Amino acid sequence: MRRITVAIAALAFGLGLAAHAGAQDVIDARWNTMKGFGKSMGTIKDNLGDPAKVAVEAASINAGAKKIPSLFPEGVGHPKSRQTPKIWEDWAGFQAAAKRLEDESAKLEMIAASGDAAAIPAQFGAMGKSGCGGCHETYRGPKKE
Protein backbone atom coordinates (compact mmCIF):
# COMPACT_ATOMS: atom_id res chain seq x y z
CA MET A 1 0.00 0.00 0.00
CA ARG A 2 2.84 2.37 0.83
CA ARG A 3 4.35 1.81 -2.64
CA ILE A 4 1.05 2.73 -4.29
CA THR A 5 0.81 5.91 -2.20
CA VAL A 6 4.39 6.86 -3.05
CA ALA A 7 3.75 6.13 -6.75
CA ILE A 8 0.60 8.26 -6.77
CA ALA A 9 2.41 11.10 -5.00
CA ALA A 10 5.29 10.90 -7.48
CA LEU A 11 2.89 10.90 -10.41
CA ALA A 12 0.99 13.90 -9.04
CA PHE A 13 4.26 15.78 -8.45
CA GLY A 14 5.41 14.95 -12.00
CA LEU A 15 2.12 16.12 -13.49
CA GLY A 16 2.40 19.34 -11.48
CA LEU A 17 5.87 19.96 -12.89
CA ALA A 18 4.66 19.18 -16.39
CA ALA A 19 1.76 21.61 -16.02
CA HIS A 20 4.12 24.26 -14.67
CA ALA A 21 6.59 23.67 -17.49
CA GLY A 22 3.77 23.99 -20.01
CA ALA A 23 2.59 27.20 -18.39
CA GLN A 24 6.11 28.61 -18.48
CA ASP A 25 6.37 27.72 -22.16
CA VAL A 26 3.18 29.68 -22.83
CA ILE A 27 4.41 32.63 -20.77
CA ASP A 28 7.76 32.62 -22.60
CA ALA A 29 6.01 32.46 -25.98
CA ARG A 30 3.70 35.31 -24.93
CA TRP A 31 6.57 37.51 -23.79
CA ASN A 32 8.65 36.75 -26.87
CA THR A 33 5.70 37.56 -29.13
CA MET A 34 4.98 40.85 -27.36
CA LYS A 35 8.67 41.83 -27.36
CA GLY A 36 8.75 40.97 -31.06
CA PHE A 37 5.79 43.29 -31.64
CA GLY A 38 7.67 46.09 -29.88
CA LYS A 39 10.81 45.48 -31.91
CA SER A 40 8.84 45.40 -35.15
CA MET A 41 6.95 48.58 -34.26
CA GLY A 42 10.26 50.34 -33.57
CA THR A 43 11.75 49.15 -36.84
CA ILE A 44 8.69 50.29 -38.76
CA LYS A 45 8.73 53.68 -37.03
CA ASP A 46 12.39 54.12 -37.93
CA ASN A 47 11.83 53.05 -41.55
CA LEU A 48 8.48 54.53 -42.59
CA GLY A 49 9.97 55.51 -45.96
CA ASP A 50 11.25 52.01 -46.71
CA PRO A 51 8.28 49.91 -47.85
CA ALA A 52 10.32 46.69 -48.07
CA LYS A 53 11.38 46.87 -44.42
CA VAL A 54 7.89 47.86 -43.33
CA ALA A 55 6.36 44.92 -45.21
CA VAL A 56 8.67 42.43 -43.48
CA GLU A 57 7.93 43.80 -40.01
CA ALA A 58 4.19 44.07 -40.68
CA ALA A 59 4.19 40.41 -41.76
CA SER A 60 5.95 39.51 -38.52
CA ILE A 61 3.32 41.36 -36.49
CA ASN A 62 0.57 39.69 -38.49
CA ALA A 63 1.97 36.21 -37.82
CA GLY A 64 2.20 36.97 -34.09
CA ALA A 65 -1.28 38.48 -33.97
CA LYS A 66 -2.74 35.22 -35.22
CA LYS A 67 -1.26 33.47 -32.17
CA ILE A 68 -2.51 35.88 -29.50
CA PRO A 69 -5.56 33.92 -28.28
CA SER A 70 -3.48 30.76 -27.88
CA LEU A 71 -0.96 32.70 -25.77
CA PHE A 72 -3.55 33.53 -23.12
CA PRO A 73 -5.01 30.29 -21.76
CA GLU A 74 -7.12 30.95 -18.70
CA GLY A 75 -5.21 30.70 -15.45
CA VAL A 76 -1.74 31.02 -16.97
CA GLY A 77 0.00 34.09 -15.67
CA HIS A 78 3.14 35.37 -14.04
CA PRO A 79 3.59 37.85 -11.17
CA LYS A 80 5.07 40.39 -13.61
CA SER A 81 2.49 39.74 -16.31
CA ARG A 82 0.20 42.65 -17.11
CA GLN A 83 -2.84 40.75 -18.38
CA THR A 84 -6.06 41.46 -16.54
CA PRO A 85 -8.94 39.10 -15.73
CA LYS A 86 -10.98 41.06 -18.29
CA ILE A 87 -9.32 38.92 -20.98
CA TRP A 88 -11.27 35.86 -19.84
CA GLU A 89 -14.34 37.76 -18.64
CA ASP A 90 -14.68 39.19 -22.16
CA TRP A 91 -13.04 36.46 -24.23
CA ALA A 92 -14.98 37.33 -27.40
CA GLY A 93 -13.90 40.97 -27.09
CA PHE A 94 -10.29 39.91 -26.53
CA GLN A 95 -10.38 37.69 -29.60
CA ALA A 96 -11.89 40.55 -31.60
CA ALA A 97 -9.11 42.88 -30.42
CA ALA A 98 -6.48 40.34 -31.50
CA LYS A 99 -8.24 40.03 -34.86
CA ARG A 100 -8.10 43.82 -35.30
CA LEU A 101 -4.32 43.71 -34.88
CA GLU A 102 -4.19 40.87 -37.39
CA ASP A 103 -6.33 42.83 -39.88
CA GLU A 104 -4.53 46.16 -39.40
CA SER A 105 -1.09 44.56 -39.74
CA ALA A 106 -2.24 42.78 -42.92
CA LYS A 107 -3.37 46.14 -44.33
CA LEU A 108 0.00 47.66 -43.48
CA GLU A 109 1.82 44.75 -45.08
CA MET A 110 -0.30 45.08 -48.23
CA ILE A 111 0.24 48.85 -48.47
CA ALA A 112 3.98 48.46 -47.93
CA ALA A 113 4.21 45.63 -50.46
CA SER A 114 2.52 47.89 -53.02
CA GLY A 115 5.36 50.37 -52.54
CA ASP A 116 3.00 53.20 -51.48
CA ALA A 117 5.38 54.85 -48.99
CA ALA A 118 3.05 57.85 -48.62
CA ALA A 119 0.24 55.65 -47.23
CA ILE A 120 2.41 53.78 -44.73
CA PRO A 121 2.42 56.33 -41.87
CA ALA A 122 -1.38 56.56 -41.69
CA GLN A 123 -1.81 52.77 -41.65
CA PHE A 124 1.01 52.40 -39.14
CA GLY A 125 -0.87 54.85 -36.89
CA ALA A 126 -4.14 52.96 -37.38
CA MET A 127 -2.47 49.67 -36.53
CA GLY A 128 -0.97 51.14 -33.38
CA LYS A 129 -4.17 52.79 -32.25
CA SER A 130 -6.80 50.15 -32.94
CA GLY A 131 -4.57 47.10 -33.28
CA CYS A 132 -2.11 47.34 -30.40
CA GLY A 133 -4.10 49.90 -28.46
CA GLY A 134 -7.29 47.87 -28.81
CA CYS A 135 -5.81 45.27 -26.48
CA HIS A 136 -3.60 47.46 -24.32
CA GLU A 137 -6.36 49.89 -23.40
CA THR A 138 -8.77 47.21 -22.25
CA TYR A 139 -6.89 44.04 -21.39
CA ARG A 140 -3.50 45.15 -20.06
CA GLY A 141 -2.91 46.36 -16.55
CA PRO A 142 -0.29 48.76 -15.20
CA LYS A 143 3.38 47.92 -15.29
CA LYS A 144 4.50 45.90 -12.28
CA GLU A 145 7.77 46.38 -10.48
Q: What is the pLDDT of residues 73-88, one digit of tens each?
A: 998 888 888 899 999 9
pLDDT at 21 over 60: no
Q: Does 42 map to a domain?
A: yes
DSSP state of 69: G
Sign of CA dihedral 4, 24, 73, 65: negative
User: How would you class 61 by CB atoms within 10 Å of its CB: exposed for 0-12, middle for 13-18, buried for 19 or more?
Assistant: buried
Q: Does 130 map to a domain?
A: yes
Task: Report the CATH number at residue 50.
Answer: 1.20.120.10
pLDDT grade for 31, boundaries at 50, 70 and 90:
very high
Q: Number of structural domains, the chain?
A: 1
pTM of the model: 0.82
**In the prediction, which pLDDT does 123 show?**
98
Q: Does 144 map to a domain?
A: no
| Domain encompassing residue 130 | 2-139
**What one-character-per-residue DSSP string does 19-65 give?**
HHHHHHHHHHHHHHHHHHHHHHHHHHHHTTT-HHHHHHHHHHHHHHH
Q: What is the pLDDT of residues 100-120, one digit of tens each?
A: 999 999 999 999 999 999 999
| For residues 61-72, average pLDDT | 97
pLDDT at 8 over 70: no
C-alpha distance from residue 122 to each of 83, 113, 118, 134 (Å): 28, 15, 8, 17
